[in-house]
Amino acid sequence: MGLRKILDFKVPREHYQADAIIIWCFDERFDEYRERKPLIRFLFSVLFWIGMKRFNPETSLLRAYIKQKRFHHPDVIKWAGGAKPLVFEGEGNRNAFRHKLETAIRLHGAPRIVLMLHADCGAFNFGDDPSEELENHLAGLCLAGDFLKREFPDKEIELLLADFNGLYALG
Ligand SMILES: [Zn+2]
């Protein structure tokens, strides 16, 4: 088997310190890859700039959040359900999760950990009951936050809930 280059692209070799480790669900609706047409993007930028914040020029909620926080080097870790393995999948998965966080912190020294859960997540099974889902997610984020504060007392912890109208911070 030979190797054949399929993309020419320059990746910076320098190492970096991460601004944050962000645990996000892989649901692409909350991190869209499509781009707006340049004119639409420009119009959205103008509206956003004059204060109409719902016209965010980004199509990706995650990217909009990263921009708002001015993170330059976020380490984003994606899997099903975002913060779910930390609170809803038993001790084995919680320990595996902690181990991955320890590795990420050792490699890039991020001073903060960001966890998200989101509405209508396929990793949970709430069907058409948004209030039950919201209650579950808020309780889950609180538990996850307590766990992280205990395990990583020197880190800033941010707990986020995403829905189809934006992003909300707990606390
Ligand atoms: Zn999800």
Q: How confident is the model at residue 128 (pLDDT cuts 50, 70, 90)?
A: confident
pLDDT in tens, 41-84: 999 999 999 999 989 999 999 999 999 999 999 999 999 999 99
Structure tokens at 87: 């609170």
- Give the pLDDT confidence score for residue 126 in this predicted structure: 80
What is the percent of the chain with per-residue pLDDT over 90, rounded to a whole number?
82
- Give the pLDDT confidence score for residue 125 in this predicted structure: 81
pLDDT in tens, 77-102: 999 999 998 888 888 888 988 999 99
- Give the pLDDT confidence score for residue 85 in this predicted structure: 87
Query: What is the whole-number distance in angstroms between the Cα of residue 83 and the centre of ligand 1?
Result: 10
Ordered strands of the 156-163 beta sheet: 74-79, 20-25, 112-118, 156-163, 166-169
Are 170 and 138 in contact by the 8 Å Cβ rule? The answer is yes
CA distance readout (Å), 68 to 64, 74, 111, 128: 6, 12, 17, 31
- Give the pLDDT confidence score for residue 166 in this predicted structure: 95
pLDDT in tens, 1-16: 899 999 999 999 999 9
Query: What is the whole-number distance in angstroms between the Cα of residue 52 and the centre of ligand 1?
Result: 28
Quickly count: other Cβ atoms within 10 Å of residue 16's Cβ: 11
- Give the pLDDT confidence score for residue 16 in this predicted structure: 96
What average pLDDT does the segment 139-151 reach? 93
Quickly count: other Cβ atoms within 10 Å of residue 5's Cβ: 6
Are 59 and 34 in contact by the 8 Å Cβ rule? The answer is yes
- Give the pLDDT confidence score for residue 171 in this predicted structure: 84
Q: How far apart are CA 94 and CA 151, in angstroms?
A: 11
**Which residues touch 36 (CB under 8 Å, ≥6 apart)?**
44, 57, 59
What average pLDDT does the segment 143-148 reach? 93
Q: Report the C-alpha dihedral over residues 15, 19, 25, 27, rounded to 10 degrees.
A: -80
Domains plus CATH for the chain? 20-29+60-169 (3.40.1050.10)
Query: What is the whole-number distance in angstroms between the Cα of residue 128 and the centre of ligand 1?
Result: 15
- Give the pLDDT confidence score for residue 113 in this predicted structure: 97
CA atoms 141, 147, 150, 152: torsion sign: negative
Query: What is the whole-number distance in angstroms between the Cα of residue 71 and the centre of ligand 1?
Result: 23
Lowest mean pLDDT among 24-38, 86-100, 151-165: 86-100
Q: Report the C-alpha dihedral over residues 50, 52, 55, 58, rounded to 10 degrees.
A: 60
Query: What is the whole-number distance in angstroms between the Cα of residue 78 and the centre of ligand 1?
Result: 10
